[in-house]
Amino acid sequence: MKHRLMALALTGWLAPILACAAPASIKQAPPPPPYAGVYQPHGVDEIGLWHDDDEDERRLAGSPLVIRDEALNHYLKDLLCRTVGTDRCQAARIYVLRTPVFNASMSPNGTMRVFTGLLLRMHSEAELAAILGHEFGHFERRHTLSRFKANRSGTDLLSWAAVLTAMAGSYQAYSNFDDLQTSVYGGLYHYQRDNEREADLLGLGYLNASALPPQAAARVWQNAMAEAEASAVVRGLRKPRFDAVAFTASHPPDAERAAYLGALASPEGASRDAGEERYAAAMAPWLPQFLDDQIKLNDFGASEYIITSLAEGGWSACLWNARGDLYRLRGTQRDLVNAAAFYGDAVRLDPRLADAHRGLGLALVKTGRREEGLAALRRYLMLKPNAPDAAMIGMLTMKETP
């Protein structure tokens, strides 16, 4: 009897889990709702939030972090329009921020911030479109406003509870207050994660309806997990858990996102063109800077993962050079030997890549191959006579007079 009860209890618990794992009712993310025209804020709260946000955007527009390159900005805007539709996309303004972190954000008035760390990690237009669509989903669903209201209700409730608890003054009252506090804060974080899930679904809905393959959305999160794992391995840390939800987690766990985004992607979209070449071509002028910013984060495992994953379609001189920088900057003797080999590959592919000659020279000098190293440094100075460090490198290459 006891066993049967336990079995019943177990199936009772398992049923919802199974239902989550294999959603029977929905096969695909729902299509985006019909476009309702240019949105304007309603009500005191929303008008206030937009007003604050307009002021923020005014400051952002002048920020030295913003990359103002017209070609890059035009490309991103065009991609957003191809993702969410040419009518909707006019509501958003994209700002590219030079920040080597994997993130993007959307604020209530339609200000979209895209970090260069995100652009570095994407492999195709479809992957970036998945993120842009997600962010636009936050805008379409007015998530900032609903979270503002939820936070306000939660803190209102807690304030009254705190005063009443202080009035009662009993042990039980304080204990109840603690429970209430935990459940209110837990509920608010849960609500935030649900907003993210909703934005994920809406983003995938745009992608399903677009000309890009929606399967890319799940790939973004698979790559994010692989990168986090690579970073942890090099640091000697325990592998991160991708299925656990922390109390204060702002987003659903990566594994969950990868699973539902993969399951709800439209299967007939799989054969569409993901725009890998177009994306690589648009990012090519920026790749050296993005990689350099990433390498200076001193996260060897993650940087190595990013470089090798970008090189899946073939190594370029820029990628070999970045890998050389990564190893040379960690700077153990074994790293320098590897770095010299990577720089060697870079200059073989592009003999006019001055920075690779510089790195090659410095790595060789430090590993006891002085003459070859000095020759590489001289080539660097020849290719880039006005380099900011020309005087310093020039001193290295001077003949020693004993």
Partner 1 sequence: MFFRYCLAAALSLTIVVPAAAQERTALKNGFDPLDARGKTVLVMRPSVRVGSQSTGGMFEPNGDWTDQSKKNIDAALAKIQAKLGNKVVVAPEAFGEDARLTDEYAALFAAVSQSVITYQFFPGNRLPTKKRENKADIFDWSLGSGVADLPGAKDADYALFIYNKDAYGSTGRKLLQAFAMLGPGLAVKSGEHAGYAGLIDLRTGDILWLNADGAMGGDVRTSEGADKRVGQLLEGFPGSQLEKATVASATAP
Q: Does 159 bind partner 1 (CB under 8 A)?
A: yes
Q: Does 95 bind partner 1 (CB under 8 A)?
A: no
Q: Collapsing DSSP states into helix, strand and coil, what is residue 348?
A: helix
CA 400 remoteness from chain centre: 49
Q: Which two tokens stand for residue 42?
A: 């309603």
Q: Which two tokens stand for residue 177?
A: 């207050």
Burial class of residue 188, CB neighbours in 10 A (0-12, 13-18, 19+): middle
Q: Which of 16, 34, 37, 64 binds partner 1 (CB under 8 A)?
A: 64
Q: Which of 3, 59, 238, 399 binds partner 1 (CB under 8 A)?
A: 59
CA dihedral sign, ordered 69, 74, 77, 82: negative
Pairing of strands 93-97, 66-67: antiparallel
Q: Does 69 bind partner 1 (CB under 8 A)?
A: no
CB nearer to partner 1: give 184 or 249. 184
Q: Does 238 bind partner 1 (CB under 8 A)?
A: no
CA dihedral sign, ordered 108, 112, 113, 114: positive
Q: Does 22 bind partner 1 (CB under 8 A)?
A: no
Which of 341, 312, 314, 345 lies closest to 328 in space, CA to CA?
341
Least spacing, CB of residue 54 vs partner 1, in Å: 9
Q: Which stretch binds partner 1 (CB under 8 A): 169-177, 279-287, 326-334, 382-390?
A: 169-177
Alpha-carbon distances of 151 from 143, 289, 401, rounded to whole Å: 12, 39, 72
Q: Does 181 bind partner 1 (CB under 8 A)?
A: yes
Q: Does 172 bind partner 1 (CB under 8 A)?
A: no
Q: Does 162 bind partner 1 (CB under 8 A)?
A: yes
Q: What angle do CA 81, 87, 90 make, to 5 degrees?
A: 65
Cβ distance 53 to 111 under 8 Å?
Answer: yes
Q: Does 158 bind partner 1 (CB under 8 A)?
A: yes
CB nearer to partner 1: give 45 or 389. 45
Least spacing, CB of residue 312 vs partner 1, in Å: 39
Q: Which of 14, 20, 166, 270 binds partner 1 (CB under 8 A)?
A: 166
User: Interface with partner 1 by CB under 8 A: which residues?
Assistant: 44-45, 47-52, 59, 61-64, 151-152, 154-160, 162-167, 169, 171, 174, 177, 181
